[in-house]
Amino acid sequence: MQHDAHAHHDHGAHSTHADHESHVGHEGHQEQHGGRHEGHGAHHTPGKASWSMAARATLHCLTGCAIGEVLGMIIGTALGWGNTQTMILAIILAFFFGYALTLRGILAAGVDFKTAFKVALAADTLSIAVMEIIDNGVIALWPGAMDAHLSDPIFWIVLAIALAAAFVITVPVNKWMIGRGKGHAVVHQYHH
């Protein structure tokens, strides 16, 4: 086991508490293995997720979701579809654009498409699903929102409220996932 070396290390050789902490755990593991993960430890080490990190990951997903939602509603409206068909299209496009934004960043790091696609699925599926449940739930339950047209201010107001609610509720989900080395923590392994 790789971490057994830490168990036999002479902790008395460190002159300060900071020296000891810099060696114990993932940072010590990085030093021992040539710093391969240097600069990324805070992103994917379980238990090290910050609220700002979770908020950035959520905002990333929310951007893709919002693009997909609005585009789906525009297309559904233009084609004269009913609410159910339009909502289904909007959800499909929200997932598509959510994954596409993540894929773009991973592919730019030189990762092959198959691996990048698997990473995007692992990173974004739960986050996008939670957002879509909240977002579409708010729109479906808000009186008059489902029947509002794109030209009605109520449509855009409710959409903004729904996306804001989705963001607020999904940030803790992403924090939990990143803290366990899942979700967007996986994506950060490919950022240099």
Each residue's pLDDT tens digit, 40-65: 434 444 557 789 888 988 898 899 99
pLDDT at 4: 41
> In the structure, what pLDDT confidence band is assigned to residue 183 with cuts at 50, 70 and 90?
low
* Contact indicator for 101, 60 with CB cutoff of 8 Å: yes
Place of tokens 């994954």: 99
pLDDT of res. 108: 87
Percent of the chain with pLDDT over 70: 70
CA gap 69, 83 in Å, rounded: 13
Four-residue CA torsion sign, 66, 68, 71, 77 = negative
Q: Is the pTM of this model over 0.85?
A: no
Residue 155 carries which side chain, given as an amino acid letter? F
Q: Give residue-wise pLDDT tens across range 155-182.
A: 999 999 999 999 999 999 988 888 887 7
HSE of 141, CA atoms in CB hemisphere, 13 A: 8
pLDDT tens by residue, 110-148? 889 999 899 889 888 999 999 999 999 999 999 999 888
